[in-house]
A and B are shown apart, each in its own frame.
Chain A
């Protein structure tokens, strides 16, 4: 998976609790992305980062925040999890030379 890890890989949490997902890369790529994937939908962009401390919103950013304090780590936080945020979350990275995005293995999050 191109040197991308996600943690945790599975998580069950209760409505209203905060949750943080971590994406770690060893490729020194500039761009990092968080997507969610739901049945009947393709991948939808939540937030992305174009450098340390540089982030921007994607298509479905409501209820999510991100932080990138180091090149290798991109954190996704659900401030107060809701059942609608039950999903599979994917992290991706890309460099400056190619548009190609490399995806991590995913995190399955269930909010009860």
Chain B
């Protein structure tokens, strides 16, 4: 079946540094990608999304990059703060899934003081 995965299951960064979380996807026909943040004991929360006709999209302190050639997605967090500590999930909508996401297993980001 289709799969969405993450290169690094855990990531530790110093407060103030930039963080980069990576994701590989397998379906070259996927049209839409999204990043979610999940804090302990809570449901996932939308961070940023990107469509397949874009290479880059920026939000507040976050940037998502999409490289369709190598089927790679990344989330960049600028000036990482303690409140950024969470698990981050990428997800895609494969071409034949309608509204249904396929989620990756997640990367835990720990921000060190």
State the Cβ distance, A7 to closest chain B Cβ, in Å.
14
Interface centre among B1, B32, B41, B44 (most CB of A within 10 A): B44
How would residues 17 to 34 of chain B score, 1 for a CB under 8 Å from any chain A CB and 0 otherwise?
A: 000000000000000101
Set of chain B residues within 8 Å of A102, measured between Cβ atoms: 46
Residue numbers in B under 8 Å from A48 (CB-CB): 99-100
Binds A, one of B53-61, B62-70, B102-110: B102-110
B89 in contact with A99 (CB, 8 Å): no
Number of interface residues of B (CB under 8 A): 23
Residues of B contacting A31 with CB < 8 Å? 99
B43 touches A42 (CB 8 A): no
Chain B hits for A105, CB < 8 A:
42-43
Min C-beta distance of B113 to chain A, whole Å: 27
B45 within 8 A of A: yes
- A106 with B103: in contact, given A42-B89, A43-B89, A99-B32 (CB under 8 Å)? no
Determine the distance from Cα of A40 to Cα of B32 in the docked complex, in whole angstroms. 24
Q: How far is the CA of A59 from the CA of B1 in the complex (A)?
A: 10
How many residues on A have C-beta within 8 angstroms of the other chain's C-beta atoms? 24
Contact string against B for A residues 79-112, beta-carbon threshold 8 Å, 1 for contact and 0 otherwise:
0000000000010101000011111111000000
With a cutoff of 8 Å between Cβ atoms, the chain A residues found around residue B42 in the complex are: 105-106
Complex interface: chain B residues within 8 A of A100 (CB): 34, 46, 49
A45 to B43: give the CA distance in the assembly, Å. Answer: 14
B75 at the interface (CB under 8 A from A): no
Given A42-B106, A100-B49: A94 in contact with B89 (beta carbons within 8 A): no
Residues of A within 8 A of B77 (CB): none
Interface residue from B89, B100, B106 paired with A58 (Cβ < 8 Å): B100
Among A44, A58, A99, A103, point to the contact of B43 (Cβ < 8 A).
A103
Contacting pair B46 A1 (CB below 8 A): no
Partner-A contacts on B (CB < 8 A): 1, 4, 32, 34, 36, 41-46, 49, 89, 91, 93, 98-101, 103-106
Closest 7 CB pairs of A and B: A103-B43, A42-B103, A43-B103, A42-B105, A103-B44, A42-B104, A99-B32
